[in-house]
Amino acid sequence: MAVLAFSCLSTRVAAQPASERVLSAVTISAKANPDPVEKSYRQMVRGMDLFEQERAALSPQATLRFKLLPRRLDTDMRRIEMEVIGSTVDFAVPIAPDGTFTLARNPRAYDENAQVSPNRRALSMTWRTEIRTPGLPANTRRLGDLRLECRVGMQAGLLSNSSNVVGRMVKALLDTPAYCDRQLPNYLFFADRPLFSVALAFGQRREVLSIDKLYAGASDDPGLKEDLPYCDCEVLVDRTYILPLGDRSWPDDTRVEFDYMEDE
């Protein structure tokens, strides 16, 4: 979908409120960013709807935010500007210093299948959900929150790892919230810092994840270097982990505990 050039819009919309600008239909002959890293506003709102539907069961005290993460070493994550852009509507999306944001609900943008478009190129960033229960101990997450992160992320269409036509066909079959109910879905979570180990803990039971569940499976993939350009973990490999989301012997209140490299 064409992205409206900011310079072309500035004169037309200067007198309108910053929160939302209603545009007349125009034909776009040029784009400020010809290859944007963008997502469907409609799909992301559907992810928000799923969060509201399932939060009582999985994450009753949590809040939902979306998060932008770097995908390349040269990606500048500072001062990112982002807009929701439809054919007749355009409004800014504020981004917090930690790269997280929320989306305002706008029926016109939903009907027009608008795009959520940062001013960064495709494959320069990746997207995730961030669902956190407040008050947890330092260096821990709650498994129910992460289960819902996966489900909302799939519903919102945030993953983009496919490298070819076959890969895109497989992704189309798996890219649903039900994928997260598998015993061990290959959904990559990103920790805040480089990881030394990850453990699950509930009551007296504690289990450290095996090394193949960390670092995007690097220990089992001698061809990882060649695969990295197709993975949205490209520069975050040392922060990645996968979890047994579908293993219900681990309840939603299970703690996911992180030991970070610098801690060791």
Q: What's the pLDDT at 159?
A: 81
Q: What's the pLDDT at 46?
A: 97
Q: What's the pLDDT at 262?
A: 82
Average pLDDT, the chain: 83
Q: What does the pLDDT look like over 55-99, one tens digit per residue? A: 999 999 999 999 999 998 888 999 899 999 999 999 999 999 999
Assess whether pLDDT exceeds 50 at residue 255.
yes
Q: What's the pLDDT at 81?
A: 95
Q: Any residues with CB less than 8 A from the CB of 4 and at least 6 apart, and which? A: 23, 26, 28, 31, 32, 85, 90
Output 216 or 61, whichever has higher pLDDT.
61
Least confident of 131-140, 169-178, 183-192: 169-178
Read off the pLDDT of each residue in 20-46 and give the average, rounded to a whole number.
63
Output 7 or 160, whichever has higher pLDDT.
160
Rounded Cα distance, 249 and 264, in Å: 30
Rounded Cα distance, 132 and 148, in Å: 10
Rounded Cα distance, 148 and 129, in Å: 9
pLDDT band of 109, cuts 50, 70, 90: very high
Length of the chain: 264
Q: What does the pLDDT look like over 221-252, one tens digit per residue? A: 665 566 667 788 888 999 999 999 999 999 99
Q: What's the pLDDT at 227?
A: 67
237 with 248: CB under 8 angstroms?
Answer: no
- Cα–Cα distance list, 56 to 154, 161, 171 (Å): 19, 31, 29
Q: What's the pLDDT at 133?
A: 97
Read off the pLDDT of each residue in 14-23 and give the average, rounded to a whole number.
45
The strand pair at 21-22 and 89-92 is best described as antiparallel
209 with 233: CB under 8 angstroms?
Answer: no
Assess whether pLDDT exceeds 50 at residue 18.
no
Rounded Cα distance, 227 and 223, in Å: 6
Task: Dig out the tokens for 16 from the structure.
Answer: 């309108």
174 with 186: CB under 8 angstroms?
Answer: no
Q: What's the pLDDT at 37?
A: 82
Assess whether pLDDT exceeds 80 at residue 11.
no
At 216, which amino acid appears? A
Output 118 or 168, whichever has higher pLDDT.
118
For the chain, state the CA radius of gyration: 19
Q: What's the pLDDT at 234?
A: 84
40 with 116: CB under 8 angstroms?
Answer: yes
20 with 89: CB under 8 angstroms?
Answer: yes
pLDDT band of 118, cuts 50, 70, 90: very high
Rounded Cα distance, 187 and 159, in Å: 9
Which phi-psi region, left, alpha or beta, contains residue 124 (left: φ > 0; alpha: ψ -120 to 50)? alpha
- Strand, helix or coil at 208? strand
Q: Which of 3, 1, 120 is CA-nearest to residue 71?
A: 120
Output 22 or 206, whichever has higher pLDDT.
206
